[in-house]
Amino acid sequence: MGEGDMQLPIGPRGSRWRVDMGHKVVSTHVVVVYRDQLDRMIEGEFIWQPYAGVLGTLPDYCRLGQEIWMARVPLICFDVVEWHLPHRVLRQFGRVQSVPDRFDTEWQLHVTDRRGRVGTDWHLFYIPYIQLWDARRDSIVQADYSDEVIPSSDPYMLWYRRHTHLLVGNPSHVSESGYQGVGPYLEALVSIILRVR
């Protein structure tokens, strides 16, 4: 080996590919850190439009069809159908966020797969969804532009606080060693304060 060549670590059983997992490189171990960082965010730190600054730098083929990015339609790939629901994330598009209406995501779509369906003509199987996709320009969500901070008294924020977890950390993930996130402790503190009130 020459100078500067990297020596791979030798694991506990002598294999150079068998190494201990660490929270810095394995995503399943980093989730605690990610959740903790989200829980620590304060107003003004969250970027609602993460792609706004890079759209102009993308190649043309990535920006084609921008007019349908806000279409409320099914996205289809062979046997997989997932609804694209931009009305639930209007802030990502720089729009005023309203209280989203209830939407049935059709659970039966999530249990449909190719097993036992050899020879299935997916075009015929999903014709109602394909027709909705074909009419996508008729399903564009309309909303005013805004990049202002949503006030806490806004109807959407009142709805949001009633329907979501304000902290994403999992209180059951408190461990005796390793990285200690603040989320579980904040959630416990908030629940105590709410009980006292």
161 assigned to some structural domain: no
| Structural domains in the chain (count) | 1
pLDDT at 134: 95
116 assigned to some structural domain: yes
Taking only the tens place, the pLDDT of each residue in 67-104 is 899 999 999 987 889 999 999 999 989 999 999 988 88
150 assigned to some structural domain: no
Closest CA to 131 of 176, 186, 74, 185: 74
pLDDT at 29: 64
114 assigned to some structural domain: yes
pTM: 0.65
Taking only the tens place, the pLDDT of each residue in 37-75 is 888 887 778 788 877 888 888 888 888 888 899 999 999
112 assigned to some structural domain: yes
89 assigned to some structural domain: yes
CA distance 84 to 77: 13
User: Residue 108 is part of which domain span?
Assistant: 59-138
State the average pLDDT for the chain: 79
48 assigned to some structural domain: no
127 assigned to some structural domain: yes
